[in-house]
Chain A
């Protein structure tokens, strides 16, 4: 039986959409960029190399907490042993990437992006989706999207660690403080963008004051909420540039670690 825009009683129009603009462009571009990032990050997670070049560590591998980590890369110890599955050493990146992956996967902005571009639910506004049934986020697995706040909290811990990585990048390769290189700037920029992305998050906005019924009774939380609300207006922008920032930081560290380029020191 016909459903959706072809349902009985609705205006009998045989087209799924009558939009005349390039509505497919945005979901197609989103699909391309997100897929490229997934492919690159998967490749890097499996590579298990070129993520540490004193004092720089790639955000894909920080904190490096497995005994499979490269020498010097573990700033917070190695509490996890080397896991081997089917004869293959599990990359230290997998223990870490689950947090940013979960945070971005359950992020309200990215949900919009990938529901539209990957799942076409809907591909664009007023463009009929191809699915026969739809239950949204009411049942498994999508009901797990409600766990966004847990990834948010874990993501904050990771941000602190990546900020620490940026701070220790103010050392030179011999571990002496008071130096700054291009890598220092790259890791500092990466940490800054990640903080902006996290603090502009809808869950952050809710936690800091959004859940209140009365702002007037909580003036400080209201001020904090107002500030986060301003950041929240740019959340999609921060989501994208922080994604590019992470990829760029990793590419930079990889090139330095591989010897493709030299990490230039300003002083």
Chain B
């Protein structure tokens, strides 16, 4: 898409704000972030936008483009219709700081609430050994770039501010799943923690997190649903519960 494009950019802060319409040049092969930078360089020198790598790997330029949570650096201009007005806003699940920059500190607070990896006491760093099949499973979750698009689109907190207290969100459910599936992690009650402290039960698996993930992590199918099933094992399945008590092998 080369030529002039119409942009509607939300400008403001946590108290007030509005859309500003601009027309700007776009060149062949450009992405939305390029065009926003051109607006910043030519028309709105004080436009606030967060960005860093411009390669879809740092997760900084998360915003909403035509109402959809996207990375601005990975949204190509040629995906829009000729003459279409492209609306750009900050992430709408979090407080706005200014213009296109949202305050995502909620996520860092939630990250601190997840207990970190706890290796066996008799293994020193450097002595951990894992088979490839076991590594591969959690490797998918390690692709997360923490863009927080999944957190932003999750209706549990996007549409209900009051749930932020009790709900960690999809990004941290994949972290919990990764650790619960880790053969060397010794914390055995991550399932219970996920359900009772991090609000796993609030997720109604409508899969929006998976839909927006720029790393194509199957958040719902490979992390949230397996965690829900693991929770059923320990909380809602009396046969499994009894079996684990008799055979003493909860963590097979």
Contacts and interface: CB of A to CB of B under 8 A. Distances in A.
Nearest to A11: B96
Contact of A134 (B87, B160, B181, B230): B160
B50 to A, nearest CB: 14
A260 interface: no
Interface in B189-211: 199, 201-208, 211
B176 to A, nearest CB: 14
B206 A126 contact: no
A9 B94 CA distance: 8
Contact of A138 (B92, B201, B212): B201
Contacts of A9: 14, 95-96
A75 interface: no
B115 to A, nearest CB: 16
Contacts, number: 169
Interface stretch (A107-115, A173-181, A189-197): A107-115
Contacts of A206: 225-226, 229-230
B232 A134 contact: no
A1 to B, nearest CB: 9
A19 interface: yes
Given A4-B159, A17-B67, A232-B221, A122 B233 contact: no
Contacts of B133: 215-216, 222
B229 A211 contact: yes
Nearest to B81: A20
Contact of A121 (B155, B199, B201, B251): B155
B89 interface: yes
Interface residues of B, number: 64
Interface in B85-104: 87, 89-90, 92-96, 102
B214 interface: no
Nearest to A222: B133
A146 B10 CA distance: 42
Contacts of B156: 134, 136
Contacts of B165: none
Interface in A3-35: 3-5, 7-13, 17-21
B66 interface: yes
Interface string A215-253: 111100010000000001100000000000000000000
B161 A108 contact: no
Contacts of B231: 146
A47 interface: no
Identify which of B64, B131, B160, B182 gathers the most chain A CB atoms within 10 Å of its CB. Answer: B160
Interface residues of A, number: 56
Contacts of A122: 155, 159, 206, 208
A125 interface: yes
Identify which of B16, B133, B235 gathers the most chain A CB atoms within 10 Å of its CB. Answer: B133
Contacts of A7: 161
Contact of B202 (A116, A137, A213, A232): A137
A149 B232 contact: yes
A125 B133 CA distance: 33
Interface string A132-160: 01111110001100111100000000000
Contact of A3 (B66, B87, B162, B221): B162
B96 A213 contact: no
B207 A19 contact: no
Given A12-B17, A13-B89, A215 B131 contact: yes
A9 B162 CA distance: 14
Contacts of B21: none
B215 interface: no
B142 interface: no
25 contacts: A4-B158, A10-B14, A10-B93, A19-B66, A108-B225, A111-B206, A112-B205, A112-B206, A125-B153, A125-B208, A126-B64, A126-B68, A136-B202, A137-B203, A146-B235, A148-B232, A202-B225, A202-B226, A212-B252, A213-B180, A214-B131, A215-B131, A215-B133, A215-B137, A217-B252
Interface in A59-118: 108, 111-112, 115-116
A215 B16 contact: no
Nearest to B69: A126
B119 interface: no
